[in-house]
């Protein structure tokens, strides 16, 4: 979801995390002690018009919730020209995070409809109240000892969706299901020649042949780091069940293993066994995770990841017959195929992975729609 999606409103509006900064910031900037004087000044001069809390995955770093700050210069550059009682608009969009989905990021269309609807209240102070999940707060409330402008403090966590949000959610569901059906049709047309004998080669042998180089993830030397600077996302085994989105940040210099785009990441435990090609920005790997750097002249990364991803492969390479056993990475098997033939398999492997991702998205979106509509019906919201 690009910043251009939030383009309504007066041209004098600016989005920033702090004066002179960028567009998005970590949510702690709304409440940490070192910024009280800056926040207080922004409120008193009327420069801070709105704070929008976004769900994790809206922008980098994807593992943390960010905020969108809407700033507007005082009329004629004079703080005393700010209308009295203007207040600040607090908008909590964190409920639009995907639940149970394998792909990180929010429900984009629903989040956009909600935020744009809420921000319309900026230039219409006498209009109807903003939608549930947003509130216009008098300055006297945030201008206390803490000067905390975190939207979640003042908005309802159980706000019911508006008709506009539901309509956007249904449109998104229809798009996701149509895309899912199209992908399912393509996969159903595949033909399999399972009678043909195939040979495999172990990862250990591929390492000896120089086709790939393995590296083991480790515990970072230092603790967690703050966003910005030289920090990088940290992926651990605990992050895998929730979709594989890194759940922390560490200083790049303290991370023994940094994964680059195109590396194949493999989980080394049977209970969370996964394998996939890393396609995002650099990230650090924690214990029990492995990075395989592929020589593209000898091996297709997506072909390798697809072969390794087979659940039976992880079970057979396990050191014990239990879900908590470790996976012997060098014992994992890969089809022995020429590079030219690997491309066809890689394309199907990628299609299967995309299908799985869309299936998870449809599940999360469908569950949220069923929950929201059930609540509205139980409250007597059915129109005549």
pLDDT band at 10 (very low <50, low <70, confident <90, very high): very low
Q: What 3 state SS string does 267-331 have?
A: ECEHHHCCEEECCCCCEEECCCEEEEEECCCCCCHHHHHHHHHCHHHHHHCECCCCCCCEECHHH
pLDDT band at 40 (very low <50, low <70, confident <90, very high): confident
Q: What is the mean pLDDT of residues 38-43?
A: 79
Contact (Cβ atoms closer than 8 angstroms) between residue 251 and residue 238:
no
Contact (Cβ atoms closer than 8 angstroms) between residue 212 and residue 299:
yes
Q: Count Cβ atoms below 10 Å from residue 10 Cβ, excluding itself.
A: 9
Q: Which of 50, 19, 44, 10 is nearest to 155 (CA)?
A: 50
- What pLDDT shows up at residue 244? 74
Residue 297 has pLDDT above 90, yes or no: yes
- What pLDDT shows up at residue 210? 94
pLDDT band at 364 (very low <50, low <70, confident <90, very high): confident
Contact (Cβ atoms closer than 8 angstroms) between residue 309 and residue 276:
yes
From residue 343, give the alpha-carbon distance in Å to each of 39, 300, 336, 339.
55, 7, 13, 7
Q: What is the mean pLDDT of residues 365-378?
A: 84
pLDDT digits (tens, 9 = 90+) for 282-291: 888 988 999 9
Reported as half-sphere exposure (CB side, CA atoms, 13 A), residue 162 has a value of 16
pLDDT digits (tens, 9 = 90+) for 188-203: 998 887 666 678 999 9
pLDDT digits (tens, 9 = 90+) for 121-169: 776 656 667 777 787 887 666 666 677 777 877 665 445 666 777 888 8
- Percentage of the residues of the chain whose pLDDT score is greater than 90: 21
């Amino acid at each position: 979801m690009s910043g251009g999606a939030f383009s309504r409103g007066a041209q004098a509006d600016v989005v920033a995390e702090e004066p002179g900064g960028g567009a998005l910031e970590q949510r702690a900037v709304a409440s940490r002690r070192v910024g009280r004087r800056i926040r207080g000044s922004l409120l008193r001069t009327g420069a801070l018009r709105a704070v929008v809390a976004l769900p994790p995955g809206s922008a980098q770093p994807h593992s943390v919730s960010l905020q969108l700050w809407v700033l507007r210069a005082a009329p004629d550059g004079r703080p005393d020209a700010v209308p009295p009682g203007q207040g600040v608009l607090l908008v909590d969009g964190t409920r639009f995070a995907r639940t149970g989905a394998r792909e990180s990021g929010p429900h984009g269309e629903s989040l956009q409809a909600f935020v744009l609807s809420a921000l319309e209240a900026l230039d219409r102070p006498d209009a109807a109240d903003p939608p549930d999940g947003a509130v216009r707060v008098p300055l006297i409330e945030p201008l206390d000892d803490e000067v905390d402008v975190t939207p979640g403090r003042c908005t309802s966590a159980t706000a019911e969706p508006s008709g506009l949000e539901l309509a956007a959610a249904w449109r998104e569901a229809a798009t996701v299901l149509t895309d899912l059906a199209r992908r399912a049709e393509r996969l159903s047309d595949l033909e399999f020649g399972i009678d043909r004998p195939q040979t495999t080669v172990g990862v250990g042998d591929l390492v000896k042949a120089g086709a790939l180089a393995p590296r083991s993830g480790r515990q970072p030397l230092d603790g967690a780091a703050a966003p910005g600077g030289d920090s990088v996302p940290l992926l651990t085994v605990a992050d895998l069940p929730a979709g594989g989105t890194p759940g922390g940040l560490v200083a790049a210099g303290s991370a023994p293993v940094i994964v680059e785009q195109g590396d194949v990441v493999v989980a080394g435990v049977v209970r969370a066994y996964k394998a996939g090609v890393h396609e995002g920005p650099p990230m650090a790997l924690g214990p029990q995770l492995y990075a395989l750097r592929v020589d593209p002249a000898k091996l297709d990364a997506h072909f390798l990841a697809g072969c390794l991803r087979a659940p039976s492969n992880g079970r057979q390479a396990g050191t014990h017959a239990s879900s908590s056993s470790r996976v012997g990475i060098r014992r994992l098997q890969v089809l022995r195929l020429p590079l030219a033939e690997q491309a066809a398999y890689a394309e199907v492997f990628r299609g299967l992975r995309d299908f799985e991702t869309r299936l998870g998205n449809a599940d999360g979106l469908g569950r949220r729609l069923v929950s929201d509509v059930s609540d509205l019906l139980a409250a007597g919201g059915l129109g005549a």
